[in-house]
Amino acid sequence: MSNNDETRAGVAIDQAFNVLENEDTQALLNSQLEQLSQMTDETSPNGSNTEERYTLELDIASSYLALENKTEAWDRAKNCFDHFIELSLWQKAVEACDVMFQCELDDSIIALANGVWLAVTFPISPETSVAMLQHIIDETPDNSDGAAVAAITAHYLADIRCEGDKAESLKFLATQMIAQVAKRHSQVDDQEMLEFWIERMELNDPAIFLPKLAKVLDIIISDHWWYDRDKLRQQIPDN
């Protein structure tokens, strides 16, 4: 078999798998929509199933995203986000922002920044917070200081929100993120240079780098905040 024949065979196999995957996702979506229809018909008068309903709605948005129906995915995820904010469900609200970011529409970067603020401000899953900060790194130029503060914030959150093996694993990942950013930002390639770079960039003190991250988010969002931050700050847990 020639190289061209092997290439065509490989493409055909990939296409076949994609068709099967799309069929599975469509079947899942149909099931989710049916479940949502039943849930809507059985809505509790006191709204006790509201969280469950919008969690399912967000799953539906993810299915639409997987099927490349990005507009429908965005609309559903944004609707879920608004309700999650009303219900003070911060983890779910951040997950909705992640779906909207992955839609790659005009306001997706705004969705990301809104989600990152929530992920840093409230004690949600550290894995989710680190993943959102990785998106910031991916979206910023190589010479951006914003990527540096995002990476160090990821390490900071992994340190304060995790314990044991989970903490070590997530901090290792965050350390790799810092090293990646330092290399592309200032060609840092050894530990001594990295320590000097961290000191020069003022990344040792959260009292300095967290306000810097806030400024980065302000620049990204440009007054398109989807919530009142001052009002939400009143809901930050004491511990």
31-75 tens-digit pLDDT: 999 999 888 766 554 455 789 999 999 999 999 999 999 999 999
Top-confidence residue, 141 or 40? 141
pLDDT band (50, 70, 90) for residue 17: very low
Q: Among the ranges 18-32, 34-48, 131-145, which has the highest mean pLDDT value?
A: 131-145
The Cα–Cα gap between 75 and 138 comes to 24
Nearest Cα residue to 224 out of 65, 107, 85, 105? 107
pTM (predicted TM-score): 0.86
Nearest Cα residue to 216 out of 123, 152, 126? 152
Task: Output 12-15 pairs: Cβ under 8 A, ≥24 positions apart.
Answer: none
pLDDT at 39: 84
SS3 152: helix
pLDDT band (50, 70, 90) for residue 13: very low
Nearest Cα residue to 185 out of 125, 144, 124? 144
Q: Per residue in 161-210, pLDDT tens?
A: 988 888 889 999 999 999 999 999 999 888 999 999 999 999 999 999 99
What value does the mean pLDDT take over residues 114-129? Answer: 97
The domain segmentation of the chain, as residue ranges, is 1-105, 106-226+232-236
The residue type of 64 is: Y
Structure tokens at 65: 């995203």
pLDDT at 177: 95
Q: Per residue in 72-112, pLDDT tens?
A: 999 999 999 999 999 999 999 999 999 999 999 999 999 99
The residue type of 8 is: R
pLDDT band (50, 70, 90) for residue 16: very low
pLDDT at 43: 55
pLDDT at 239: 63
